[in-house]
Structures are given as structure tokens and as C-alpha cells.
Homo-oligomer: A and B are copies of this chain.
Amino acid sequence: MTDEIFDSTDSIRSAAPLKHVQYFELSGPLELECGARLQQVRVAYETYGRLNAQASNAVLVCHALSGDSHVAAHDAQDEPGWWDVLVGPGKDLDTDKYFVICPNTLGGCRGTTGPNCADPATLKPYGGSFPNVSIADIVKVQAALVEHLGIGQLLAVIGGSMGGMQVLQWAIAYPDGVRCAIPVATAARLSSQALAFDVIGRNAILRDPHFHGGNYYDAGRPGEGGVFLPANGLTGLAIARMIGHITYLSRQAMAEKFGGNRHQPRSIRSEFEKDTSVASYLAHQGDKFIERFDANSYLLISRAMDRYDLGEGQALRQSLAPARCRWLVAAFTSDWLFPADQSMEIVNALLANGQGISYCNVRSACGHDAFLLPNEVATYGGMIRGFLEQASRATPAQAAAEPELDADGRQADTSIFHGRRIDYDLLEEVLASQASSSQPSVLDVGCGSGQMLLRLKRRGWRRLQGVDIHESAVLACVQRGVDCIQADANDGLSMFADKQFDVVLLSRTLQAVYNVDRLVEDMLRVGRCGIVSFPNFAYGPLRDMLYNQGRAPEAQGLLRYKWYDSPNIRFFSIADFQQYCQDKKLTVHRMLALNTETRREVKEDPNRQADLAIFVISRG
């Protein structure tokens, strides 16, 4: 078993003192949500890069349960940071462009006021007497720091896991203080399962015979930076950490790390079980954690996380209502501690509130750890980079004027069709004609890389939202400044509220969807009207092919796939769709037929002459 299997999450953190930490003392006492008051609060933080003259390039990074202010190495000689994969010069969170701030949380044990610090009233460690802190308290202290640094509005707040909860809290508690929120691998409240793991970890600590109600410090011997150290190592803290480590990894990641060499443990000194590779890993992680982390901080911060609860459904919508920032939400497919459906709940609430948002469920085998590991940084890091670049442009017009965006129309936009998107010209015209207001809202389902939405954005339309099933589509949209969430159109559009959009667009999407009925129904629930474009299966050459050659229709243009490899699985004609609308009692407001080979609109016998149709429909 090699050493690298021990490199997981923030286990690279050591107990070594942090060389670049700065300190900020709050000007007065801090009132906590629980009603208690802390007379003195000191914040340990690190910064990277330079704040620009307008103070508009500051990004606050919020750390997770056991993290600290050392988000990245400051130079080649420095200790590694816990988010080195993302943060640094030239990296996705580019410290050459942005001023990055990372404070240790209130109640932590790495410099910011916490239970291992001396209570000014007694000069003894707070220990078990440290008051309960909440995520709101943690964010309040961060806000004081941000103000102290002369920043009126953060360009972005970003954080994973419990750090993501702080991002949510920033967005709702300081709506004017944040332009962009990037919650990663997080939740608006813990799942009951995650809560249960925390409960067990705390039980192990609380029932440890050395815990003594939290007063376990060697009070006569304060360590570096005035913090106190435990007189005895707490086995319970190691047990809690071991449980944590399982929840940070996916089953697959554990199988890869420990499956092959199960009976070849690493030779380590430990009093814990160590006769399998996974046991030696857990023993090592447990032992190491005792050395560097404080049990009272663990209890305190895990309780803050457990108690954070923005509710579900309608309650969550209300909780998030004050937010006014732009959103990029990321989850990871194999994360079961903060699973993607919990990110999706946040996304749904924001969508139902009418906020533009991008969301990606990044494919990963790494579990919750994925946000800290290099494996998926190309995807989610690329999104963060693109999102921040778009967000840091001064005006929307500037954002839309990117030269690279002029490629629109010169390349295939989706995998289904090729050739110049003449249908987009027509669609744009139809959309403009349907717009009842000067700021019509459009939902594009199956938006691909967002070209249609970008066209509308250039028209000055602002209430635009894309949906696509592919990670790559979300990435492309985010890089263009187009909001896009990752979702499968087969599952319907339940994340959107009734009549939330003026127009819902299905541009060459419906023929690739299995659950046609469900999608059309949801489309007309969510949109005041629907615009559907689809290839016409009764186009003359296709008819000929089946009739005269007895072969599955296949054409050069729209239907160029073979019967066995086509992404299209529903074949219907203009006449079929007309019949469908009639059967389902849908009103057809307009029908445009197009021949994409001749690039002309078809007026005569469209069901034979056109290879593409555009319908504008609504319910009733």
C-alpha cells in the first residue's frame, strides 16, 4: 500500500503553525444567535493576490468542518493549502486576478476565537463553556472582516460542504454584499443520514472518559498562538474522524483504494485496529486528527452545521428569497454526504424564485471529497473560472460581446443536427413576436451550448434560463454567461413554478425525448406558451425512402443518422403533431415550416415539403 492512498481531503493539513496568517480583532463584543456574547473575537485569515482599486475583485473562500485559513500555498516553500487545486496564480480561482480571502471560522481551533482560547474573563481556556455558534454567527464575523478590509461588495463567496452553507447564508444575510454565490457540494440542511453520522461522532467524543465535559486542556501550558492543547488524546475524536472519512469517500473510491490490497495494511503505529488496508488508513486518519484538531471545536462546528436549516420546498424558497446574486451551484454524482438532490433542492427553490442560476452535477467517482481533489477540477474549476470571468465584466453588453461568441452559426450546436442554424433565425423572430413584454422570460429546454439564449441575450433579453442534460453543455453556457442547469428533460420540469416563463422552448429536443407527454404537459404548465421545433418525419424524401426502398428514412440533413445509432427516438410529422395538439386540446397559435436544405420557409404542402417545423402552442 503506497502513501498516496493516505492523501485524502484535508488530511494534508498538519498541526504545523501557519506562517502567513493575519489577525483581525472585532471592535466590540459579538452577540451570538444563541443569546450569549463573546467579549473579544479575533479572526485568523489569509489573503492571496491584490485588491483592485475599485475593491471589486474580492472572493471570500469559506472552509469546511475541519479546514482552516490556509486555502492555498503562498509560495513554493509554503505548506500545501487545502484547495491548492483551485486557488493560486493562473488557476481557476486565479489569485493574479482576484483578491482571495480565507478566514478560519468562529469556534475553530486554528487561530480564530474558539474553545481552545483563553476566556478573557478567567484567562483559562473556554473549553466546555464556549457558547454555541451558528452558521449565521460564523458569517457575521466574516462580514466584519470583509468590511475591515474595505470591501463593500464581494465579487463572489465560494465554499464546499459546510463552507457552502456559509455561502448560502451570505447570499441571504448580506444580499448587497455578494455579487456571485458559488455553493459547492452542499445543502440547505443536512440529510437525516448525515445528521446521524454527526450524532454518533459527537457521542463518541462526549462519552470519551478523557472528555471531562470539554475541560480536558492542559491549562497551565498554552501552545503556539496562545491556544491550549489537550492533556490527553481523545479516542472519541479519532472515532468521529474515522466516520467522517468514510462519508467523504464514495463506495467506488474506497473499493479502488482498498479493494485490491485489502489484506496489505500499511505498517503504522496505532492502538486502533490496523490489520486491513482500510483499517490502517482509518487508524492513521484518526490518530493524525487528534494531533491537529480540537474536540470542542469539532463538537461546536458540527453542531452549527447540523442546526443550519433553511427548510425544504416552500420554506426553502422563502429562506432564499432575499438573495439577489448570481448563482453557480455544483454537486458531484458520487457524493452521498451532500448528495446532488440536495443541491437540486437549492436550485429548484432559486428557480422557483425566478433567479437565474447555473447548476452542474459533475460526474465523479470521488464522493464528497471530489471538490477538494484534482480529478474533476477541469470541469467544475472551468465552470468557476468562466462564471467569475463573466461576472467580473462590468456590463452585460460587454459580457455578450466576446469575440469567441461570434462563432455562432458556423458550427453544429447540438449533436443532432448540422449545418447553419437557419431555424434559429426563424425561432428568434417567432420568439420576438411572442414576447408580450419588453423583458420576456425564456426557458430553453435542451439548450445545448446556449447559442439560442445568447442570441436573445444580445437582443437585450435578460430573463433567460437553459436546461440541458450534458455537463459539457452547462460548462459551455456558463463560459458564455448563459444560465444553464443540468437536468434530464425526461423527468419533466418540476423545478419550475407554474407560468414562470413567457416562453418555453423545445428546439429540436422533443424527438430525442422518451417521455413526450410529460414534457409537453410540463412545458405548458411552466410557460405561458411553448415553442416546439422538430424535424418533420413526413418530409418528401423520407417518405420516398420508406415507400420506394423499404428503408428506414435517413437524409443528408436533419435525419442523417442510421436507425440504430440515432439520438432521435420519436418520429413524427407535422400532421402528427397537429393531431397531437388536437387530441390533447392544445391551441396552435402559429406553425412555421422550413426547408433547411433550400433555407426557405415552406408555405405549400408543408408536411411534404418541409424538413423542420416550428409550432407555437399553449394550453386551452
**A residues whose Cβ falls under 8 Å from a Cβ of B:** 191-193, 195-197, 199-200, 202-204, 206-207, 209, 235, 238-239, 242-243, 245-246, 249, 251, 254-255, 257-259, 262, 271-273, 276, 278-279, 282-283, 286, 306, 309, 312, 336, 339, 514, 516-517, 537-538, 542-544, 546-547, 549-552, 563-565, 569-576, 579-580, 607-608
Contact = CB atoms under 8 A, between A and B. Distances in A.
Contacts of A206: 272-273
B550 A278 contact: no
A142 B572 CA distance: 64
Given A200-B282, A209-B209, A262-B309, A257 B550 contact: no
A22 to B, nearest CB: 36
A558 to B, nearest CB: 16
Nearest to A312: B259
A193 B537 CA distance: 51
A465 B238 CA distance: 50
A541 to B, nearest CB: 12
A311 to B, nearest CB: 11
B546 A538 contact: yes
The interface centre, meaning the residue of A238, A576, A580 with most chain B CB atoms within 10 A of its CB, is A576
A543 B551 contact: no
B563 A242 contact: no
A614 B563 CA distance: 18
Nearest to A544: B547
Contacts of A203: 238-239, 242, 272-273, 282-283, 286
A547 B546 contact: yes
- 4 smallest CB-CB distances across A and B, nearest first, come from A538-B550, A516-B564, A569-B569, A192-B258
Contacts of A516: 564-565
A78 to B, nearest CB: 33
Given A203-B242, A204-B204, 7 more contacts: A192-B251, A192-B258, A195-B276, A199-B282, A336-B336, A546-B546, A547-B547
A583 B501 CA distance: 47
Contacts of A279: 195-196, 199
Nearest to A243: B200
* Copies of this chain present: 2
Contacts of A538: 546, 550-551
Contacts of A544: 547
A571 to B, nearest CB: 6
Contact of A197 (B191, B246, B579, B607): B246
Contact of A571 (B242, B571, B576): B571
A573 B552 contact: yes
B272 A193 contact: no
B242 A200 contact: yes
Given A207-B271, A309-B262, A200 B239 contact: yes
A472 to B, nearest CB: 20
A579 B554 CA distance: 14
Contact of A255 (B192, B200, B202, B259): B192
Nearest to A306: B276
The interface centre, meaning the residue of A197, A204, A238 with most chain B CB atoms within 10 A of its CB, is A204
Contacts of A283: 203
Given A192-B259, A203-B242, A564 B569 contact: no
Contacts of A195: 258, 262, 276, 278-279
Nearest to A241: B200
A612 B258 CA distance: 52
Contact of A552 (B202, B235, B537): B537
B278 A192 contact: yes
A71 to B, nearest CB: 28
Contacts of A309: 262
B251 A339 contact: yes
A530 to B, nearest CB: 15
Given A199-B278, A552-B571, A565 B517 contact: yes
Contacts of A573: 546, 550-552
A564 B242 contact: no
B209 A272 contact: no
A207 B550 CA distance: 76
A246 B282 contact: no
A291 to B, nearest CB: 17
A192 B255 CA distance: 5
A254 B563 contact: no
Given A199-B273, A538-B546, A564-B517, A336 B571 contact: no
Contacts of A257: 192
A564 B542 CA distance: 19
23 contacts: A191-B254, A192-B258, A192-B259, A192-B262, A193-B254, A195-B258, A196-B242, A199-B242, A199-B273, A199-B278, A200-B282, A206-B272, A207-B271, A207-B272, A209-B209, A239-B239, A251-B336, A516-B565, A538-B550, A538-B551, A543-B550, A549-B575, A550-B573
A571 B553 CA distance: 9
B246 A200 contact: yes
Nearest to A339: B251
A607 B239 contact: no
A254 B547 CA distance: 57
Contacts of A202: 273
A569 to B, nearest CB: 4
B192 A569 contact: no
A198 B158 CA distance: 35
B543 A546 contact: yes
A213 to B, nearest CB: 13
